[in-house]
A and B are shown apart, each in its own frame.
Chain A
Amino acid sequence: MPGDTLITSENDTDIELDFAGVEDFQENHKREKHNGKRRNGDRQENKRENQRRKRSSKSVQGIREESQSKTERRERSRRRKGKAEHETSGHEGNKRERDQTRAKSTKSKKNIKNEKTRKLEGKEDGEAQEKSEKGKLKLVCTKNEEKIESGDQLKEKEKALGVKKKKKRRKKVVETSSEPETSEDGDDEEEVNNDGEVRPELLSPEELEKLKEAVDEKKKLIQSLRGKPWPMKQKLVTLRESQLFVEKYEGALGKGKGRKLYAYKVMMTKKWMKFQRDFENFKTACIPWEMKIKEIESHFGSSVASYFIFLRWMYGINMILFSLTFGLVMVPEVLQFLNLNCTFILFIALYIYFILQVRLILLCTFFEQALMGRPYGSIPRKTVPRAEEAGAMDFAVLWDFGGYAQYSVLFYGYYNNQRAIGWFKFRMPLSYFLVGVGTVAYSYMVVIRTMARNANESGIGDDNSFNFSWKMFTSWDYLIGNPETADNKFASITTSFKEAILEEQESRKDDNIHLTRFLRVLANFLVLCCLAGSGYLIYFVVRRSQKFALDGLENHTWWERNEVNMVMSLLGMFCPMLFDVISTLENYHPRVALQWQLGRIFALFLGNLYTFIIALMDAINLKRKEEKVVKYNITMWEATLYNGTGSENSTAPPITIHPADVPRGPCWETMVGQEFVRLIISDTMTTYITLLIGDFLRAVLVRFLNHCWCWDLEAGFPSYSEFDVSGNVLGLIFNQGMIWMGAFYAPCLPALNLLRLHVSMYLQCWAVMCCNVPQERVFKASGSNNFYMAMLLVILFLSTLPAIYTIVTIPPSFDCGPFSGKNRMFDVIQETLESDFPAWFSKVFSYASNPGLVLPFILLMVLAIYYLQSTSKSYKEANVELKKKLQMQNEENKKKNKQAALKAQMDLEEAKKSASQTAEHQRNNNDSVQRQEDDEEIDNKNQRMYHGRNPSPSVGNREPHFPVRDPGPRNAHNGNHGNPRYLPGFHQQSEPRMCRVPSLERH
């Protein structure tokens, strides 16, 4: 039975093709009902056609004919889709009679056919859609190529092909147009194929191959279905049908073993798809704060939300940095510290949940044994010195990260230089070093990758050729769900329109350019003064704090102890405001002003950070001098110690000395780490406090004092604050820079930052929702995304510089940290190479690191970069060239079209006459004819209409008419409506198709 239906449906297709014109004609009347969807569909079709043409223009012309005819047929079937029930007009009936020999029981077949054609059409669309993604931009270009080729040749070929056309069945259309060459030869086979689909054992391998292709096509269609602008019902129907098709014929594929394997494969792909979908769902469910961000998005538009998305992204990065340091550095070092408690608790638990816990204990002890550093208090570097012991647990000391916090896993100094720990022989110093390097490397990778992706997304958007259109078509932010924000957006769009118009008019009145220039220079001078002043202030404060530190911190007030951080935070808070005031002098366009402002804040932060680092370097040098003294003292002390205990050292080693009593070096690394941690803490505190005072308190005051105040606070001076996206992003970026800088000396920094980001996510979300008003000028987020990323990259680079400098040039402290006792920190690599790898490896490594090899390698890289850069440059040039060509051809087309329109004016009358006559024949509904005419906008539709109007009974006569008349109706029609709507390329397209149709109809 299925075979039967297939055959009949095939026949049906023939009829369909014959009637296509008529049906299209009627179709046009019904289109109105469909909300204009069809019209759009047509246009899309046109576009696809273009792509089709483009592809085919590469191969021989015959192939082009093929694909065109197919497109045409597809178009028709599309028009017809769902309309079969209405095709009852008498004229049609006549036509059908001709083919009655083949077509039995029309009604039922119609239904089948409808299904089939819909599928086909869907499939074709699917292909086209895929292609269209690539070829969209070349659209116009290819059309012009087409034009150059002579129309005569096309026609000849077509006639030749036309004879065969009748044989082509729906199967033919199923085939991809990418292989049109084979399709022609395969005509007859396909017919057989249709028969045999139910009896797979009868199929030849070729047919099987075809069937497989068809099934694959269906699958592709199913996948691409979601990308189609159809109503859901249509998509559902198509999906169900294609799934049915796939299920039905999938089983027919393959024989014997192969069949089973195929079925298995199909099943697995299905399962895999389902898994993927579930995984996708799971992944989206895992993204944190989605709802919060969405809420903000709807209130404040995408720019404010972009800050929170950036924050979340930062959080993710810090999460990974944290897990790196935590898992590979902190846990192995700290596990021993937990040792006692852990086992104690577990032993109690053992009695209760014996069976369950056995495994856990094994695991725990395994970890302890496998990776363990020495516990707290076992060696001097892990013990608080005797002098500090008294106040080591004081909150003030801990808050400054002194006392127990200083001698903990949080800082560099705590780590032991034991080369390998535990059963696993975990290489602690090596791990420390590699994690430090890996942190930076990972950050680089992520930032650059994100930048590249952003550039891909928006890289083409840098040309200004569509300035107005973008303002018009893309300026509305559909996420805005808050009326107030919407009002602001309306206002900002209006201003941007007005600004753009003013700029376009070039009526830039230069009011006293000298004054403006003077003011700008003055402003920059003031800003420079500010920057220099803040830099000096920080330098001064850091030097002073070192003096205090030498005196001992206890003798000073809280302010004196926290001077550096406070000064830095305060500068970071007030200088931007100052810059804001200064920038009003300059009278820049707001967007330019924003960029200047950002640049200045960036310079300020950077300057502050670097002064801080330079001052820190001074401190490091001081510490190292101190260290030398201490080292000398220690040797003296040890000597006296040994002398005191007696001459026989071997029998009585000095075990009696508590590690806390051992004299210690100053350990500059821990000092650096502490400084950074303090900086982060104070920075975080200032951020939160500014948020509370500047936003919350202000909002509260404005809200509640408004009743009893002499002017309107809400609308007047203080008003509510806006969310400062750029300032906040900058703060975040600098914070991250400090993390990168300090993370090597204070492994706890990523964890701290994680905490900070987590808190600020909630705090800022709350603050934004409760006390900020939407921005006056709503900026787009996407434009600045890469700007922020670039800043992050710069900061990353600048913050790795000092870290690398210290690692490479300064020898590590002699008695603290994982690298103690080594000359340089990176010696750990060499040590590992020598002792843990076979001899030949280190030999190879030493050869590889030989300057003779390294230099050529660097040279090679430079060459590669140069090559890539020059190719990209040439691509850009080619792009510009193409653009020029495009424009020229557009103009040419315009001229040609104009000529054609004139010429067509005469043909119009004639065409109209005949059209109206036949139209009356077909339908008594004259209104719809009129409407149809109004609808026509592109030539392929004209095409169809033309056929619809001229169903001349003498088939043979029709043929000569077409080539002559063909440009006539189309252009005439367009001319008739005053606004010829066609893209340049479509002009050419119609000709070959015109010829195609008669050849189809003849049979």
Chain B
Amino acid sequence: MGTTASQLAKDSLSEYQELTFLTKQEILLAHRRFTELLDRDERNHPNPRVPMEVILTLPELKSNPFKTRICQVFSTSEDKDGSLTFEDFLDLLSAFSDSATLEIKSHYAFRIFDFDDDGTLDYGDLEKLVNCLTGETEDTRLTSEEMRQLISNILDESDIDKDGTVNLSEFQHVISRSPDFVSSFKIVL
């Protein structure tokens, strides 16, 4: 894999170090893992895009219930198919890295939970979120009564302005007090 190291120019490597929370080794590792996902002919492409299905085969993401959301949030693709370039991939890893700030982690967490991309977590978003968290199987799913109760409790707690939705600042307010958000919102290659 000597060629992959040389593919990542020294300048851009240092720029990536400047712009992400990743160390040099992590960026190189990310690059290696990323190029492994590419086909042989795609590697010569200047700025290749890996489709979401391929990204999701990564063991780090495979069993994550939010995997498609994560890809969609970090994708800069025009047609919203969740495909990632290497830079998007680095963005992803940076946000999920150990040293990323609470600020940036909570920002991306909010976007991941915001399933319909409308900028707030409304009832539908929260419902989807609960379903993601409880798994897709029938025996773990909550009943609609439980779901209603749960969501109304959540809104009671975190919806400060009582508009029926949780917006980013409310979300960050809640998250910033959580003891284990930063330690669990992590993906390491």
Q: Hey, which bits of chain A sit against chain B, CB under 8 A?
A: 33, 35-36, 39-40, 42-44, 46-47, 50, 129, 132-133, 136-137, 139-140, 222, 225-229, 231-233, 235-236, 239-240, 277, 280-281, 284-285, 294, 297-298, 302, 457-458, 460-461, 463, 465-470, 472-483, 485-487, 490-491, 493-494, 497-498, 500-501, 504-505, 780-783, 890, 893-894, 897, 935, 937-938, 979-984
Do A474 and B184 form a contact, CB below 8 Å, given A35-B75, A490-B140, A494-B134?
Answer: yes
Determine whether B64 belongs to the interface, using a CB cutoff of 8 Å to chain A: yes
Do A33 and B135 form a contact, CB below 8 Å, given A284-B25, A478-B184?
Answer: no
- Which B residue's beta carbon lies closest to that of A897? B161
Q: Is the CB of A460 within 8 A of B177?
A: yes
A-side contacts of B61, CB under 8 Å = 481
Q: Is the CB of A474 within 8 A of B185?
A: yes
Taking a contact as CB atoms closer than 8 A, the residue among B17, B165, B169 that contacts A979 in the complex is: B165
Q: Is the CB of A490 within 8 A of B134?
A: yes
Q: Is the CB of B150 within 8 A of A228?
A: no
Do A479 and B186 form a contact, CB below 8 Å, given A35-B72, A466-B157?
Answer: yes
Q: Which residues of chain B (118-134) have a CB below 8 Å from chain A? A: 118-120, 122, 126, 129-130, 133-134
Q: Is the CB of B186 within 8 A of A478?
A: yes
Determine whether B34 belongs to the interface, using a CB cutoff of 8 Å to chain A: no
Besides A136-B176, A983-B170, 4 other A-B contacts (C-beta < 8 A): A35-B76, A226-B19, A461-B178, A472-B129
**Bound: A463/B157 CA distance, A:** 12
How would you classify the secondary structure of chain A's contact residues: helix, strand, loop or mixed?
helix
Taking a contact as CB atoms closer than 8 A, the residue among A470, A486, A490, A782 that contacts B183 in the complex is: A782
Q: Is the CB of A473 within 8 A of B113?
A: yes
**Bound: A648/B79 CA distance, A:** 108
Q: Is the CB of A478 within 8 A of B96?
A: yes
Contact with A along B129-173 (1 / 0, CB 8 A): 110011101001110001001100110111011111101111111
Q: Is the CB of A473 within 8 A of B181?
A: yes
**Bound: A475/B113 CA distance, A:** 13
**Bound: A42/B120 CA distance, A:** 12
Q: Is the CB of A227 within 8 A of B101?
A: yes
Q: Which residues of chain B (15-73) have a CB below 8 Å from chain A? A: 15, 17-21, 23-26, 59-66, 72-73
- Which A residue's beta carbon lies closest to that of B98? A284
A-side contacts of B60, CB under 8 Å = 298, 481
**Bound: A136/B106 CA distance, A:** 13
CB distance from B169 to the nearest CB of A (A): 5
Q: Is the CB of B107 within 8 A of A236?
A: no
**Bound: A417/B96 CA distance, A:** 57
Q: Is the CB of A504 within 8 A of B184?
A: no
Q: Is the CB of A478 within 8 A of B64?
A: yes
Q: Is the CB of A504 within 8 A of B187?
A: no
Do A140 and B160 form a contact, CB below 8 Å, given A468-B153, A497-B150, A501-B146?
Answer: yes
A-side contacts of B135, CB under 8 Å = 486-487, 490-491, 494
**Bound: A983/B171 CA distance, A:** 12
Q: Is the CB of A483 within 8 A of B63?
A: yes
A-side contacts of B64, CB under 8 Å = 476, 478, 480-481, 486
**Bound: A222/B178 CA distance, A:** 29
A-side contacts of B169, CB under 8 Å = 43, 46-47, 50, 139, 983
**Bound: A298/B64 CA distance, A:** 11
B-side contacts of A472, CB under 8 Å = 126, 129-130, 133, 150, 154
A-side contacts of B23, CB under 8 Å = 280-281, 284
**Bound: A193/B88 CA distance, A:** 39
How would you classify the secondary structure of chain B's contact residues: helix, strand, loop or mixed?
helix
Do A490 and B157 form a contact, CB below 8 Å, given A229-B108, A481-B63, A981-B120?
Answer: no
Q: Is the CB of A463 within 8 A of B177?
A: yes
Q: Is the CB of B179 within 8 A of A457?
A: yes
Taking a contact as CB atoms closer than 8 A, the residue among B76, B95, B118, B180 that contacts A458 in the complex is: B180
**Bound: A504/B149 CA distance, A:** 9
- Which B residue's beta carbon lies closest to that of A485? B63
CB-defined A-B contacts under 8 Å, sample of 6: A36-B117, A43-B119, A228-B104, A469-B157, A469-B174, A979-B164
- Which A residue's beta carbon lies closest to that of B89? A232
Q: Hey, which bits of chain B sit against chain A, CB under 8 A?
A: 14-15, 17-21, 23-26, 59-66, 72-73, 75-76, 78, 80, 87-88, 90-91, 94-96, 101, 103-104, 107-111, 113-114, 117-120, 122, 126, 129-130, 133-135, 137, 140-142, 146, 149-150, 153-154, 156-158, 160-165, 167-188
- Which B residue's beta carbon lies closest to that of A467? B157
Q: Is the CB of A229 within 8 A of B104?
A: yes
Q: Is the CB of A239 within 8 A of B142?
A: no
Q: Is the CB of B62 within 8 A of A481?
A: yes
Q: Is the CB of A486 within 8 A of B154?
A: no
**Bound: A240/B14 CA distance, A:** 12
B-side contacts of A981, CB under 8 Å = 120, 161, 163, 165, 167
**Bound: A505/B149 CA distance, A:** 9
Q: Is the CB of B63 within 8 A of A479?
A: no
Q: Is the CB of B88 within 8 A of A33?
A: no
Q: Is the CB of A466 within 8 A of B25?
A: no
- Which A residue's beta carbon lies closest to that of B110? A40
Q: Is the CB of A979 within 8 A of B122?
A: yes
Q: Is the CB of A498 within 8 A of B19?
A: no
Q: Is the CB of A937 within 8 A of B172?
A: no
B118, B150, B180 — most chain A CB neighbours (10 Å): B180
CB distance from B47 to the nearest CB of A (A): 10
Q: Top 8 closest A-B pairs, CB basis?
A: A461-B179, A490-B135, A232-B87, A458-B179, A36-B117, A486-B63, A782-B180, A39-B119
A-side contacts of B179, CB under 8 Å = 457-458, 460-461, 782-783
- Which B residue's beta carbon lies closest to that of A480? B63
A-side contacts of B94, CB under 8 Å = 226
**Bound: A298/B63 CA distance, A:** 10
CB distance from B5 to the nearest CB of A (A): 15
CB distance from A129 to the nearest CB of B (A): 7
Q: Is the CB of A231 within 8 A of B88?
A: yes
Taking a contact as CB atoms closer than 8 A, the residue among B17, B20, B75 that contacts A277 in the complex is: B17
Q: Is the CB of B119 within 8 A of A473?
A: no
- Which B residue's beta carbon lies closest to that of A229? B107
Q: Is the CB of A36 within 8 A of B111?
A: yes
**Bound: A483/B63 CA distance, A:** 5
CB distance from A304 to the nearest CB of B (A): 13
**Bound: A413/B111 CA distance, A:** 66
Q: Is the CB of A297 within 8 A of B188?
A: yes
Do A40 and B188 form a contact, CB below 8 Å, given A232-B19, A481-B62?
Answer: no
Q: Is the CB of A493 within 8 A of B133?
A: yes
Do A302 and B178 form a contact, CB below 8 Å, given A485-B63, A498-B142, A937-B119?
Answer: no
CB distance from B55 to the nearest CB of A (A): 14
- Which B residue's beta carbon lies closest to that of A476? B133
Do A984 and B160 form a contact, CB below 8 Å, given A233-B76, A476-B66?
Answer: yes
Q: Is the CB of A497 within 8 A of B25?
A: no
Q: Is the CB of B88 within 8 A of A497?
A: no
Q: Is the CB of A498 within 8 A of B146?
A: yes
CB distance from B88 to the nearest CB of A (A): 7
Q: Is the CB of B183 within 8 A of A302?
A: yes
A-side contacts of B21, CB under 8 Å = 226
